[in-house]
Amino acid sequence: MATVTEWIGGARLRTLPAALAPVLVGTSLAAPTPLWSNALLALLVALMLQIGVNYSNDYSDGVRGTDTERVGPIRLVGSGKAEPENVRNLAFAFFALAAVCGLTLALRTSLWLIAVGALSIIAAWGYTGGKNPYGYRALGEISVFLFFGVIAVMGTYYVQSTKITWLAFLAAIPVGAQACAILVLNNLRDRGKDLQVGKKTLAVLMGERATRYFYSVLVLGSNLIGVLNVFHKPWAAITALLLPLSIFLSIRVLKGAGGRDLIALLQHTALFQLLFAIFYGAGFVLSA
């Protein structure tokens, strides 16, 4: 039986910057008059979805037998420490919490958000769940870019401003790219096992070398896009302070870091995304 610590570990709390970052950026775009109550609800939706998808992936990969002997955090189902049904039900519970918070936001702003929320939950489950999970067909990065980048940033901004703007879309691009970078690095770490079990992630299809270059493009490119937003928001230039970190991460991956070194780099990439969101958001607020 899994311990409380192992159940908490199954939530993969270190992935939560991917949920926090778009809400920070979307809220900063609403400066100088953000609507804090809606910002909090948007944050709860993002966090509940992220935790829900983590448990969902644990369940779905575990029952398929593709999540054993992995490097990295413990898998509740794959390790046999938890009953699959219990992990699945916990995933559904977090999806339900996200739905409740999302419905509250929709009632406060626009009922169209119900459809967006439903699509988000379907995408979260369908990544590794169901009969034809798109995460097994190299489509995970596209989904992450859309739902933890474009939709999350623009949605957070919309529930506070009731506006959809080109600036919000442009601001979402680096956030989505950094969320993709985390997934790319995760799939690079698991590439060997995924090859054995027939899980066709983008890392499997691209090959190791191309995947490492792709990660570097995502990390460095997102940082440069943040800096280039100086043309819209002058204080966005402060994201240039993070260029040494993005260069460091890129070089480490390009030099062939593997195994447990990739686990540390995953944590550093998540930290980079969070720091970028803070600096990026501060740039928008200071330019407001």
List the CATH number of the domain containing 142. 1.10.600
Least confident of 101-105, 128-132, 231-235: 128-132
With a cut of 90, say whether residue 187 has pLDDT above it.
yes
User: What is the C-alpha separation between 251 and 117, in angstroms, rounded?
Assistant: 38
Q: Which pLDDT score, from 0 to 100, does residue 70 have?
A: 61
With a cut of 90, say whether residue 240 has pLDDT above it.
yes
Looking at the domain assignment, is residue 9 inside a domain? no
Domain that holds residue 160: 14-287
Looking at the domain assignment, is residue 2 inside a domain? no
Mean pLDDT, residues 41-47 taken together: 97
Q: Which pLDDT score, from 0 to 100, does residue 195 have?
A: 87
With a cut of 90, say whether residue 258 has pLDDT above it.
no
Looking at the domain assignment, is residue 4 inside a domain? no
HSE-up of 61 (CA within 13 Å, CB side)? 29
With a cut of 90, say whether residue 131 has pLDDT above it.
no
pLDDT > 90: percent of the chain? 77
Q: Which pLDDT score, from 0 to 100, does residue 68 have?
A: 62
Q: Give the chain's domain count.
A: 1
Looking at the domain assignment, is residue 1 inside a domain? no
186: Cα separation from own chain's centroid: 11
User: What is the C-alpha separation between 105 and 108, in angstroms, rounded?
Assistant: 5
Looking at the domain assignment, is residue 158 inside a domain? yes
Q: Which pLDDT score, from 0 to 100, does residue 288 have?
A: 86
Looking at the domain assignment, is residue 187 inside a domain? yes
Looking at the domain assignment, is residue 6 inside a domain? no
Looking at the domain assignment, is residue 7 inside a domain? no
Kindly indicate the confidence band of residue 2, based on its pLDDT and cuts at 50, 70 and 90: confident
